[in-house]
Structure 1
Amino acid sequence: MAPLLTAGQMRAAEQAAITSGAVTGLALMERAGQGVVTAILDQWPELAGTSGQRALILCGPGNNGGDGFVVARLLAAQGWQIDLRLFGDPARLPGDARANHDRWSGDVRPWRAEEAPDLSGYALVVDALFGTGLTRGLPDGAGFARTLAWRDDGSSRPRVVAIDMPSGLCSDSGRVLGDAALRADLAVTFHTAKPGHVLADGPAHCGRVHVVDIGLPVAAAEEGVAGLITGPGALDKGGTAHKYSHGHALVLSGGAGRSGAARLAARGALRIGAGLVTLGVPGSAQMEVACQVTALMLRRVNDGPGLVDVLADGRLSALCIGPGLGLDRAPELVAAALGGAVETRPMVLDADALTAFGDRPDTLFEMVHPGCVLTPHGGEFARLFPDLAARLAEPSATGPAFSRIDAARLAAGRAGAVVLLKGPDTVIAAPDGRCAVQSAAYDRQAPWLATAGAGDVLAGFITGLLARGFDPFDAACAGAWLHVETARRFGPGLIAEDLPDLLPDVLRRLAG
């Protein structure tokens, strides 16, 4: 898992290195500028080795602008014609940025908010205006807004590169501050990616993200740092395993005509390695389900007392409650599973198990325990946590803006359980403050997951890992990563039934 540092955490990391004497701020700025130039030429090798190309470098009033001055100097040394514009007063630049301003031997033209530079003829536009330091919407002015919003699919358009973050985008949340943000083809950032690169509007505005090592100590996953999920962790069963040593998962099903979601979840749990999986089925659906399953076992579960009887079997190690369950049955079955009459077990609460408590979320939160994983999509999250959803929906003119990381962490603390907030930028948070992002963006895009039943399979993946003894937070992180990876393996045309059966190939590739 790779750290995602907020703007404040990144400033603290830089300052700690400077204070220790390990590096100077000027050296960090030089490394950053060199990293940007290298990333540009790696991304577009056709730009290397040809002199006379024109670049527009837009520098801002802080250290991001200082990075821009370094980029301008290094490109000019390679024969580029540089048009450098400064937004702000050069006399008020911070020390290191001012030093690089003074090292620049070319012209520095002021850029006024109302000005709209003619972008024709440029091979490259570098946005070094605000970076991670933006705390308010971009300056007003039609020219400024037009320039930032400018996008043309014509072959002659310049490549647009943002240093750290596209201007107008909040580094901590990925949300547009105010009315406009630049859309870049490449965002070059330093030390670690930032939450804003993978959350909300970030992927649409960054194009691609390249992280440059500038020599800071490796960021540890200390308290308060979110992580970007980069793999599923260790999933191997081991050579001496038998079915009960890897858990027995129980998935509750809906009634007649509503059993498909539970069957998808159950197959996901079995494929991810649970030793056994049982479907708890009401009598009305027993024949329907029996005709559809082979490796899965069946038990009749009509109501709460029936579930309590089934849970008397201590070998049942995890539950999945909600997919296709029905809003009429969900409250009783959730209460039975979480009540004092049965041994507490890890469980996934999904779909109807969440919606059934949308008008009384505190009732649900009083029952759940730290072994639970709640998996709401946006609508379910809004019903359970309406105040947090409202904050996410509000336009933000100042930063740092309220983020999905903030929302998921607060939700997990309130519920006392792991919360997995679904989306292309899925966020997983635990009550103890751990937080991770599963980003289905850039080279991990998986738009095919927008298909009926995909969320039921995810619930099954997590349940299977819980049955095997995974920590709830780790199970949610691994399940979310594998969910995207299986979808990517299939590609267009995916339906939910494909996901569990793609998992063996994904796991083989990970092992090999």
Structure 2
Amino acid sequence: MPVSTPPAAPTAAAAAPARDLALLTTRQMGEADRIAIAGGTPGIALMERAGAAVAEVAARHAAAGARIAVLCGPGNNGGDGFVAARILRERGYRVAVALLGGSGALRGDAALAAGRWGSAVEALSSVASDGAEVFVDALFGAGLDRPLAGEAAQAVARLNASGRPVIAVDVPSGLSGDTGLAEGPVVRATETVTFFRLKPGHLLLPGRDLCGPVTLADIGIPAEAALGAIAPAAFANRPGLWSGRFPRHGSETHKFARGAVAVLAGGVAGVGAPRLSGRAALRSGAGLATLFCAPAALIAHAARGPDALMQRALADEAALGQVLADRRWAAVLAGPALGLDARARQLVAKLVAGEEALVLDADALTILAGEAALLSGLSRRGAPCVLTPHEGEFRRLFGREPAIEAERSKLERARKAAALSGATVVYKGADTVIASPDGRAAINATGSPALATAGAGDVLAGMVAGLVAQGMPAFEAACAAVWLHGRAGERLGFGLIADDLPEALPPLLHEILARTV
């Protein structure tokens, strides 16, 4: 049933924040550079602005007149380093520059930047161990596609052992900007400076940890022209991506207009998990959440009250059909402590064959993984479906798909899984990726190790269901739930239990609705 005030379709103005959150692959970033140059901005001008941004960050980590060592590679990343070195010298710092390979190997703008440096270039081994107070890592950028070896690997080892701040240019050397993975030695940066837009590797693990805080510098690439041509489909998951679709209810709303969620529960042994999910759905704004449990568990659920959760017995798939005949149910959540028995398998099969908006988690994912026909049936559904697997569940669901197994990037694995299943996939972890069947994807960076606690996933599934039930599109609902769940974990900190998470949502929702986040 539609909400009383449906989320508005995105306007051009609403799309602007999402454009600002775009993530670019290394290939797309190269295209953005080419568009800027074709539009009249010389490549050396882009390099000068990039180097100036690096110099500004390096200076924040150095005392006046300190010794700063800049390690340059043979490409444009090294060119940015030469510019930064020159600017830092002009600001009174004692700067040493080392170059991997001979200066004769430099080409184009990088060679021009090295010429403007105009001073001696030292041996890489000496600069990486000469007692500088700050190091600038300009060896290799995001496009590196091989492990570091030889002199470069030795330099990285010395940087990491120095105990001094290391400022990485674009990404830490040795890290893939597309996957966030390192095939070999990699710099552990104190801070990273990148340009125009973030790359997936800045947010995917372990890249996010290796980068440290990331400064995003504007170097004069025309955003509208570049992003219009590139049409990026990956984004950083922040409120600007989905707040324009967040449910807002009018004064005449009622509980069914705010969305009714049916939570399918199992037997007596699993009373807690579905209750966490149902409560999270309510705290996310849904008007009604009802637990449909095995008949033997009804008394156990009733003994937990009184509270805002309704509970009803549900014996089998025929009874589920009768429940779903009431079209007021706006979303169905199945999985948390549902069980793996014949009743659970029948209920999941009934849902897959139906047309209700679904959120499938936990036991429901295990059932799907064991029955290929059910999993393939998701792609034929006309209603939205969200899957919320953690790493182990993801591998059970999609590990037999060669195209997914061969993909090293978590972002691309999630995208391919969403395309295959026809469902929005929430590939959980400290770097959760949310992927839509239409190709859009988002990488989340909120969260805390405190969320590694029993029941936290049940809460997340309930939040997704609560937002979907209010009419929020599946991709945006999943992105919002993941971000809010992570932020709640950050604010509560260690000592939280899953029961605390739904109660932490109202202040966060107030901030979102007030547009203050």
For normalisation by structure 1, the TM-score amounts to 0.90
Q: Distance in 2 between matches of 1:175 and 1:310?
A: 47
CA offset at residue 83 of structure 1? 1.7
Contact 1:318 1:463 in 2 (8 A): yes
2:20 is the counterpart of 1:12: no
Q: Partner residue of 1:210? A: 215
Q: Partner residue of 2:195? A: 190
Q: Partner residue of 1:333? A: 347
CA offset at residue 404 of structure 1? 0.8
Q: Partner residue of 2:498? A: 496
CA offset at residue 109 of structure 1? 2.5
Structure 1 residues 134-283: aligned runs within 5 Å: 134-140=144-150, 144=154, 147=157, 150-151=160-161, 157-177=163-183, 179-218=184-223, 220=227, 223-231=231-239, 232-233=242-243, 234-283=246-295
Q: Partner residue of 1:358? A: 369
Contact 1:88 1:110 in 2 (8 A): no
2:473 is the counterpart of 1:454: no
CA offset at residue 149 of structure 1? 6.5
- 1:311-353 residue CA offsets vs partner (Å, 9 max, x unmatched): 11111110000011011133211111122xx5x1111010000
2:348 is the counterpart of 1:348: no
Change in Cα spacing, 1:388 to 1:141, as seen in structure 2 (3 Å) is farther
Paired positions, count: 484
2:440 is the counterpart of 1:430: no
Change in Cα spacing, 1:16 to 1:300, as seen in structure 2 (3 Å) is same
Describe the SS at the equivalent of 1:246: coil
Aligned partner of 2:445 among 436, 439, 448: 439
Q: Distance in 1 between matches of 2:232 and 2:442?
A: 11
Change in Cα spacing, 1:357 to 1:391, as seen in structure 2 (3 Å) is closer
The amino acid of 1:423's aligned partner reads G
Describe the SS at the equivalent of 1:291: helix
State which drifts further: 33-42 or 311-320: 33-42
Contact 2:128 2:159 in 1 (8 A): no
The amino acid of 1:363's aligned partner reads L
Describe the SS at the equivalent of 1:356: helix
- 1:359-416 residue CA offsets vs partner (Å, 9 max, x unmatched): 3335322245350001100000000111569976x8xxxxxx7311110010011111
Q: Partner residue of 1:3? A: 22
Q: Distance in 2 between matches of 1:487 and 1:449?
A: 6
Higher helix share: 2
- 1:297-324 residue CA offsets vs partner (Å, 9 max, x unmatched): 1221122111111111111110000011
Q: Distance in 1 between matches of 2:402 and 2:510?
A: 39
Contact 1:223 1:433 in 2 (8 A): no
Q: Partner residue of 1:90? A: 103
* Structure 2: tracts of 5 or more residues without a match: 1-17
CA offset at residue 38 of structure 1? 1.7
Change in Cα spacing, 1:510 to 1:208, as seen in structure 2 (3 Å) is same
Contact 1:229 1:481 in 2 (8 A): yes
* Structure 1: tracts of 5 or more residues without a match: 395-400
Contact 2:69 2:128 in 1 (8 A): no
Change in Cα spacing, 1:189 to 1:367, as seen in structure 2 (3 Å) is closer
Describe the SS at the equivalent of 2:278: helix
Aligned partner of 1:383 among 396, 403, 413: 396
Q: Partner residue of 1:40? A: 58
State which drifts further: 7-16 or 203-212: 203-212
Change in Cα spacing, 1:149 to 1:26, as seen in structure 2 (3 Å) is closer
2:409 is the counterpart of 1:403: yes
The amino acid of 2:471's aligned partner reads G
The amino acid of 2:375's aligned partner reads L
Aligned partner of 1:284 among 284, 296, 304: 296
Contact 1:462 1:475 in 2 (8 A): yes
CA offset at residue 68 of structure 1? 0.2
- 1:9-58 residue CA offsets vs partner (Å, 9 max, x unmatched): 1010110111121x11010000001111222334x3xx25x12x111111
CA offset at residue 141 of structure 1? 5.4
Structure 1 residues 112-127: aligned runs within 5 Å: 115=125, 119=129, 121-127=131-137
Q: Distance in 2 between matches of 1:300 and 1:385?
A: 33
Q: Distance in 1 between matches of 2:273 and 2:233?
A: 35
Q: Distance in 1 between matches of 2:250 and 2:403?
A: 46
2:67 is the counterpart of 1:74: no
Q: Distance in 1 between matches of 2:188 and 2:477?
A: 35
The amino acid of 2:27's aligned partner reads G
Describe the SS at the equivalent of 2:369: coil
Identity %: 44
Contact 1:264 1:456 in 2 (8 A): yes
